[in-house]
Amino acid sequence: MKKINAAIEDTLCPCGSNTSYVRCCGRYLDGDEVAGTAEALMRSRYTAYVLLREAYLLATWHLSTRPLALDMDNAGTKWVGLQVLRHEQQNELSAFVEFIARYKVNGRAQRLHEISRFLREGGQWFYVDGKLS
């Protein structure tokens, strides 16, 4: 397991779980664990956006839709909250997660309402794509 920055070790996870980062998304972003559900993966991906962890985002993006790179150098964007509205597992290999992510761009409040599609391959969940609502 990678050494975790002591400043973040006891902080609440950005995904809104009311659990410490280390016990929540940190297990996936900094450890060797894979998310056990599509919802856990979606939460960890939100946290990766907050922490600017491009490598994690790309590694958890399904190969069929994965971009070559992400523009993570958005200095004016600040992610401020996540609300999971529903998680539906269609079967053991397919799931949907509906969420609202709140963020600010240069101080202006924005929100992203998405229904994301996830597939499970080789025991690991991957983000495929999302439909904006």
What are φ and ψ of residue 58, in 5° steps? -65, -40
Give 1's pLDDT tier (boundaries 50, 70, 90).
very low
Around Cβ 44, how many Cβ atoms within 10 Å?
Answer: 26
Task: Label residue 103 by pLDDT band (50, 70, 90).
Answer: very high
CATH number at residue 80: 3.10.450.50
Q: Would you say residue 3 has pLDDT above 70?
A: no
Is residue 125 in a domain? yes
Alpha-carbon distance 130 to 107, whole Å? 25
pLDDT tens track for 43-97: 999 999 999 999 999 999 999 999 999 988 766 789 999 999 999 999 999 999 9
Would the pLDDT of 7 be above 70? no
When divided into structural domains, the chain yields a total of: 1
| pLDDT number for residue 106 | 87
Residue 1, in any domain of the structure: no
Taking the C-alpha atoms of residue 30 and residue 122, their distance in angstroms, rounded to an integer, is 20
Give the neighbor-by-neighbor strand order of the sheet with 108-121. 77-91, 94-105, 108-121, 124-132
* Mean pLDDT, the chain, whole residue set: 91
**Contact status, residue 42 vs residue 24, Cβ threshold 8 Å:** no
Q: Where are the alpha helices (DSSP H) in 25-108?
A: 26-29, 38-50, 54-59
From CA 76, how far away is CA 29, in angstroms rounded?
23
Q: Which residue has the tokens 């101080």?
A: 107
Residue 111, domain extent: 6-132
